């Protein structure tokens, strides 16, 4: 357990930053390597703080660069792989998403085997489990239920295949000696300060007279706070390095949630934004079934037009299903195997996120004044 080091991919991202902060507090940890393709100026400034000197090494590189990955993994004990393209709206070319999410993971696993990395934790996604149908409710699902996404959309498909590759790599022989130990974490919809998806929701609402997008009332999700997801990664890194814990964790995946109230995405955004004047759009919407079949027609049009032009549907069947399903999961297995207990309770997580939403609203208003001025 002593004298270990850790590489975090996607370290400049929303979740990656939190994982790095927690790692820097770990005893016996000699070095944290923070790898990302691009670091925003504020993240670069935080990571360059004098208090981190000697313990935090910032690396810029591409997850598809084999040489970069080999150098980054050299001498490392644990890899936490969070780097990914999150693209539920299918805005990016499929090849881009598949390359980064799947091929990048495969290349990183190979680099770990060559560099004798002992433990690999993969940040998976709830979307590898579904939902597959808006008419089928899943409440407090568990790992043993074997839910699996059937969508061919690039994001859930690439994450599902990448997770399978990671779990199948458990037990790989390392180039020197020993074997690779792996596990995967499947967080729910992650929220908190800096959330890119929540930022997009708030910005879109501010551009629409403060009206938040509204989903059907029957949809239910269980969002999870980013600090709790990051903490689960720390516990997984401890477990895979512990000879007593590792046997029951190796090759396993875990759902990660917390005590955030289960509700629709629209109601959740409203709970975080109403203090700043955001409100739900109460105008009548098309029934979900009609939205679904309209999405099918739009996807068909996109396919037929592909030889002539790239038409991107404004929404897809996958997105309609994701936004309008009852799909919640228990973290009991993570509690049992990893000792996971969310360090941030709902009220604290809500307060921190609401304050951040307020800063987003203020920045948007100031930008508006500057334009009109």
| Helix and strand counts by DSSP (H, E) for the chain | 14, 14
Dmax over Cα atoms in the chain, in whole Å? Answer: 66
> Residues 327, 130: contact at Cβ < 8 Å?
yes
Residue 179 has what pLDDT? 96
Residue 266: both structure tokens together: 């629209």
Residue 249: predicted pLDDT: 98
Residue 92 contacts residue 31 (beta carbons within 8 Å): no
Using alpha carbons, select from 60, 49, 1, 41 the residue that is nearest to residue 24: 49
CATH class entry, domain 4-196+223-261+327-344: alpha beta
Tens digit of pLDDT for each residue in 39-91?
999 998 889 888 887 799 999 999 999 999 999 999 999 999 999 999 887 88
- pTM for this one? 0.94
Give per-residue pLDDT as tens, 185-239. Answer: 999 999 999 999 999 989 999 998 888 876 666 789 999 999 999 999 999 999 9
DSSP string, 65-123: -HHHHHHHHTT-SEEEE------TT--S-HHHHHIIIIIHHHHHHHHHHHTT--EEEEE
Give Cα separations from 269 to 157, 161, 281, 325 (angstroms): 27, 30, 12, 16
Q: Is residue 373 over pLDDT 70?
A: no
Element (H, E) at 225: strand 224-225
Say what the pLDDT of residue 242 is.
Answer: 95
Annotated catalytic sites, by residue? 155
Q: Are strands 4-9 and 29-36 parallel, antiparallel or unpaired?
A: parallel
pLDDT score of 163 more than 90: yes
- Residue 2: what pLDDT? 57
The rounded distance, in Å, linking the Cα atoms of 356 and 351 is: 9
Parallel, antiparallel or unpaired: strands 181-187 and 138-141: unpaired
Per the structure block, which two tokens stand in for 18?
């939190």
Averaged confidence pLDDT in the chain:
93
CA distance 369 to 126: 40
Q: Are 198 and 269 in contact (CB under 8 A)?
A: yes
Strand partners, 57: 33
Rounded distance between C-alpha atoms, residue 145 and residue 322, angstroms: 19
């Amino acid at each position: 357990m002593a004298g270990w080091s850790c590489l975090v991919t996607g370290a400049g991202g929303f979740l990656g930053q939190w994982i790095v902060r927690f790692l820097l507090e770990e005893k016996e940890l000699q070095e944290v390597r923070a790898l990302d393709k691009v670091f925003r100026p504020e993240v670069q400034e935080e990571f360059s703080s004098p208090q981190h000197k000697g313990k935090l090494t910032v690396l810029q590189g591409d997850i598809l660069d084999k040489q970069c990955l080999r150098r980054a993994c050299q001498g490392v004990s644990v890899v936490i792989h969070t780097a990914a393209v999150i693209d539920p709206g299918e805005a990016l070319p499929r090849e881009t998403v598949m390359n980064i999410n799947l091929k990048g993971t495969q290349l990183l696993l190979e680099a770990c085997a060559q560099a004798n990395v002992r433990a690999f934790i993969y940040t998976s996604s709830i979307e590898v489990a579904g939902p597959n149908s808006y008419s089928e409710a899943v409440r407090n699902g568990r790992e043993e239920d074997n839910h699996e996404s059937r969508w061919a959309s690039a994001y859930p498909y690439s994450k599902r295949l990448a997770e399978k590759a990671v779990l199948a790599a458990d037990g790989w022989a390392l180039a020197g000696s020993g074997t690779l130990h792996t596990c995967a974490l499947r967080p729910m919809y992650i929220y908190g300060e800096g959330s890119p998806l929540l930022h997009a929701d708030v910005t879109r609402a501010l551009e629409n007279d403060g009206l938040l997008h509204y989903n059907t009332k029957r949809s239910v999700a269980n969002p999870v706070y980013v600090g709790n997801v990051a903490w689960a990664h720390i516990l997984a890194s401890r477990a895979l390095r512990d000879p007593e814990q590792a046997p029951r964790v190796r090759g396993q995946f875990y759902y990660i949630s917390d005590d955030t109230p289960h509700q629709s995405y629209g109601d959740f955004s409203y709970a975080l934004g109403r203090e700043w004047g955001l409100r739900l759009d109460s105008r009548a919407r098309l029934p979900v079934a009609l939205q679904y079949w309209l999405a099918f027609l739009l996807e068909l049009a996109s396919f037929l037009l592909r030889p002539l032009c790239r038409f991107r549907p404004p929404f897809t069947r996958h997105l309609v299903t994701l936004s309008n399903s009852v799909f919640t999961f228990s973290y009991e297995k993570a509690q049992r195997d990893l000792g996971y207990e969310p360090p941030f309770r709902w009220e604290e997580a809500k307060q921190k996120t609401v304050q951040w939403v307020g800063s987003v609203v203020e920045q948007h208003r100031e930008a508006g004044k500057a334009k009109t001025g």
